[in-house]
């Protein structure tokens, strides 16, 4: 149903959707309908008309925050994610003296959903950050050696800040897409190390904004979340579909279809046959996801400074 907001009634923009459903009984009935529809093996169909392996329409925009080294905003259905990357100089870790590193922070805004109020948002933010650490700990996802300036002395540290603006289901996938897009957009100033006669070193940063290092994100994985509903599994679940699912499998997939990380979430169990089927689906869907994302990123890159910014920070 559409509810009139303000202005002229003839203007469709002056209406907003309002749910007339109230009560736990009706909510349970809707969940049962969703479950039965997804479980129907004769019809590869969901409540919103998508197939079981279809994503919702996604909007990707890069370079949306001016005071960062790189940024991106991703809207996947009603899920809205903003990611900013800030490159700062630091000291390499003792165990990896010739590499830079990434730090992740996830802020679950209480405005995104009431569930994020209090410690609920904190716990989810920590879980998402830990998952990102696991994904990027796999060798080859990002060339960390290219972030080293002086072994054991100086390196670039990339602080990746993730802000959840709205939660409409499938957070992990949307966040991984936004992180990859922000890293693609990241520009790190080139550095020269000058050494005087006494042997002391001085670091000089390039002032030219085009004289910079760009990260190769070809091997950065994207997460594909497969939610088990009855005997079927679906990708890019909505909030209602997530409520029908007792177990989900998070799969990190590269553009070549390689699986780098896997994690089960939810209280339910998954049998070996289901896990194998979900892995194969995840690899297949993940490759298509990378192709579509890279096409969008290349198109935005080709527009350069002439690109019109359409985001809320544009």
The pLDDT tens digits of the residues spanning 93-127 come to 999 999 999 999 998 877 767 777 766 678 888 99
Residue found by looking up tokens 């990434």 in the block: 102
Burial of 259 (0-12, 13-18, 19+ CB in 10 A): middle
Q: Which ranges of the chain have pLDDT less than 50?
A: 1-9, 12, 14-23, 26-27, 29, 41-42, 312
What is the predicted pLDDT for the residue at 132?
95
Per DSSP, helices labelled H in the chain are 24-39, 119-136, 171-185, 239-244, 272-303
Tokens representing 292 are 């579509």
Domains of the chain: 47-304 (3.30.230.70)
What is the predicted pLDDT for the residue at 7?
45
pTM for this structure?
Answer: 0.83
What is the predicted pLDDT for the residue at 6?
40
168 and 114 Cβ atoms separated by less than 8 Å: no
Tokens representing 310 are 């359409």
What is the predicted pLDDT for the residue at 193?
76
What is the predicted pLDDT for the residue at 120?
65
């Amino acid at each position: 149903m559409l509810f009139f907001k303000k202005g002229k009634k003839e203007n469709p923009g002056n209406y907003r959707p309002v749910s007339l459903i109230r009560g736990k009984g009706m909510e349970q009935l809707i969940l049962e309908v969703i479950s039965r529809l997804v479980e129907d093996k004769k019809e590869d169909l969901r409540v919103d008309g998508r197939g079981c392996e279809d994503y919702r329409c996604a909007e990707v925009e890069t370079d949306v925050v001016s005071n960062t080294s790189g940024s991106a905003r991703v809207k996947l259905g009603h899920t809205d994610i903003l990611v900013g990357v800030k490159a700062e100089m630091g000291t390499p870790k003792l165990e990896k003296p010739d590499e830079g590193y990434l730090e992740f922070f996830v802020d679950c805004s209480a405005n995104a959903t009431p569930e994020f109020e209090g410690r609920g948002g904190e716990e989810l933010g920590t879980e998402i950050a830990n998952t990102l650490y696991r994904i990027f700990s796999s060798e080859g996802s990002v060339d960390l050696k290219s972030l080293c300036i002086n072994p054991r002395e100086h390196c670039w540290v990339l602080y990746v800040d993730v802000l959840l603006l709205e939660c409409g289901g499938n957070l992990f996938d949307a966040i991984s897409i936004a992180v990859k897009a922000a890293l693609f957009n990241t520009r790190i100033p080139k550095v020269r190390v000058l050494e005087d006669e006494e042997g002391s070193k001085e670091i000089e940063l390039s002032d030219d904004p085009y004289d910079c290092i760009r990260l190769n994100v070809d091997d950065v994985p994207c997460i594909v979340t497969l939610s088990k509903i009855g005997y079927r599994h679906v990708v890019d679940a909505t909030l209602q579909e997530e409520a029908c699912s007792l177990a989900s499998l998070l799969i990190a997939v590269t553009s070549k279809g390689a699986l780098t990380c896997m994690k089960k979430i939810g209280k339910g169990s998954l049998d070996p046959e289901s896990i194998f089927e979900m892995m194969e689906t995840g690899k297949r869907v993940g490759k298509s996801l990378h192709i579509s994302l890279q096409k969008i990123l290349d198109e935005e890159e080709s527009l350069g400074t002439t690109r019109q910014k359409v985001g809320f920070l544009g």
